[in-house]
């Protein structure tokens, strides 16, 4: 059974006003446009726009349409997909928020997981061996290492939970807990499905609300027909706590052996700007052809960045490749911080609002053909979210 989604052709979020507008004024404008109250898109010290959801009809989609959207590397937006099931996990989500609060107040994560609520589920299967801190990774808070035991025997080694801040900004207490194994960044994790499975089970043990994705039968059926696979598996799991003024800058999540990512909002609210990489490149090029927009950009980013990008946009392949460069400040600042560019993406219908119970599926075919996305926290408190990579069971 395919549950309803908003069709891509409907623009679910409207641009309301420039970020400098007061909340009162933005509220009046939103009301005049027939929208819900406005949300400010702000992150890590910059603000880009007031936006507001517009009540649009929810239409059904068929698998043919879904496949077309997925193949084109655009997001599949599934509002309300787990709203009904989520009611049964309120207690678990409350516990997870309590864990978040204690961690940002400086409590040690390993001690928190020793408390009966967690240790009662972890033991005797998950044996916490050690905690480490990677000095070379300033975003890392701590890594907890586990072995998996079965009747006292070790059946999987060196699983870990890596707890990291999402930014270096003092006023952004967003963090994530990543569940994986081995040496981060060096191994092709997809080659070891058994350990991926154990790491997935560890996520479920610490955050039982994970089953909202992993045991969701309609979602499995949807993904299996979407991807033409027999059995879907959810691996390389991440639990996010996006806090106000936090979120994620534009990025992709391409991993060998994985088809893409499913993200579920369990509490709070986020706004996503999500589009296929080729469309992102196209939008950047279109922007730089518009003299009026370039006039506005002069007040938004450094002149040397504008000069650099004006040359780069003449070569779409070079522009596409530059998106993946580690050091690409002119482009990174432009796509994330330019209010005029954000407004253009909003006008094209690339923004989605995710409230508790909403899902978004992000195809990640290859570096050159994948979905790019950027996330803003728009609730007044942190929100919990699940982000799991999608693969087939070997
Ligand atoms: Fe992502």
The DSSP 8-state label assigned to residue 54 in this structure reads B
3-state secondary structure 81-139: CCHHHHHHHHHHHHHHHHHHHHHHCCCCHHHHHCCHHHHHHHCCCEEEEEEECCCCCCC
Ligand 1 mean position to 381 CA, how many Å? 21
Residue with tokens 């730089």: 288
pLDDT in the model for residue 170: 84
Ligand 1 mean position to 252 CA, how many Å? 6
Half-sphere exposure of 219 (CA within 13 A, CB side): 27
Burial of 78 (0-12, 13-18, 19+ CB in 10 A): buried
Ligand 1 mean position to 115 CA, how many Å? 31
Element (H, E) at 258: none
Within a 10 A sphere around the Cβ of 307, how many other Cβ atoms? 11
Report the sign of the C-alpha dihedral through residues 87, 89, 91, 97, in that order.
negative
- Which residues, 6+ apart, have CB-to-CB distance to 313 below 8 Å? 284, 285, 288, 319
pLDDT in the model for residue 183: 79
Ligand 1 mean position to 123 CA, how many Å? 32
Ligand 1 mean position to 261 CA, how many Å? 7
Residue with tokens 């990512």: 261
| Residue ranges in the chain modelled with pLDDT below 50 | 1, 6-9
Ligand 1 mean position to 324 CA, how many Å? 14
pLDDT in the model for residue 189: 84
Ligand 1 mean position to 153 CA, how many Å? 36
Residues measured by CB to lie within 5 Å of ligand 1, the ion: 253
pLDDT in the model for residue 190: 82
- Cβ atoms of residues 228 and 391 within 8 Å: no
- Cβ atoms of residues 354 and 76 within 8 Å: no
Ligand 1 mean position to 373 CA, how many Å? 6
Bond preceding residue 124 cis, omega within 30 of 0: yes
What tokens appear for 38 in the block? 């406005």
Ligand 1 mean position to 368 CA, how many Å? 16
Within a 10 A sphere around the Cβ of 276, how many other Cβ atoms? 21
């Amino acid at each position: 059974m395919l549950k309803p989604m908003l069709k891509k052709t409907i623009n679910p979020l409207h641009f309301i006003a420039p970020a400098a507008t007061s909340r009162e004024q933005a509220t009046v404008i939103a009301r005049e446009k027939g929208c819900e109250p406005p949300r400010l898109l702000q992150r890590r010290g910059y603000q880009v726009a007031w936006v507001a959801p517009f009540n649009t009809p929810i239409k059904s989609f068929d698998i043919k349409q879904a496949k077309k959207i997925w193949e084109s590397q655009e997001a599949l937006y599934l509002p309300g997909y787990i709203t009904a099931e989520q009611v049964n996990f309120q207690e678990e989500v409350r516990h997870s928020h309590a864990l978040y609060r204690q961690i940002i107040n400086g409590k040690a994560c390993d001690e928190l997981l020793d408390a009966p609520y967690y240790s009662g589920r972890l033991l005797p299967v998950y044996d916490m061996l050690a905690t480490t801190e990677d000095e070379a990774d300033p975003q890392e808070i701590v890594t907890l290492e586990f072995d998996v035991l079965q009747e006292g025997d070790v059946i999987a080694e060196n699983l870990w939970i890596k707890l990291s801040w999402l930014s270096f900004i003092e006023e952004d207490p967003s963090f994530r807990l990543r569940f994986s194994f081995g040496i981060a960044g060096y191994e092709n994790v997809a080659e070891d499905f058994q350990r991926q499975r154990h790491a997935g089970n560890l996520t479920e043990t610490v955050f039982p609300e994970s089953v909202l994705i992993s045991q969701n039968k309609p979602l499995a059926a949807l993904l299996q027909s979407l991807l033409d696979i027999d059995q879907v598996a959810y691996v390389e799991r991440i639990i996010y706590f996006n806090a106000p003024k936090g979120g994620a800058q534009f990025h992709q999540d391409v991993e060998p052996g994985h088809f893409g990512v499913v993200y579920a909002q369990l509490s709070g609210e986020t706004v996503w700007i999500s589009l296929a990489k080729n469309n992102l490149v196209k939008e950047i090029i279109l922007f730089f052809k518009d003299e009026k927009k370039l006039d506005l950009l002069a007040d938004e980013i450094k002149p040397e960045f504008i000069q650099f990008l004006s040359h780069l946009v003449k070569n779409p392949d070079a522009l596409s490749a530059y998106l993946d460069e580690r050091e690409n400040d002119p482009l990174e600042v432009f796509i994330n911080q330019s209010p005029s560019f954000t407004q253009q993406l909003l006008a094209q219908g690339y923004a989605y609002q995710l409230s508790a119970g909403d899902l978004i599926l992000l195809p990640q075919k290859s570096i050159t053909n994948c979905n790019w996305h950027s996330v803003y926290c728009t609730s007044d408190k942190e929100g919990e979210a699940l982000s799991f990579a999608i693969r087939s069971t070997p």
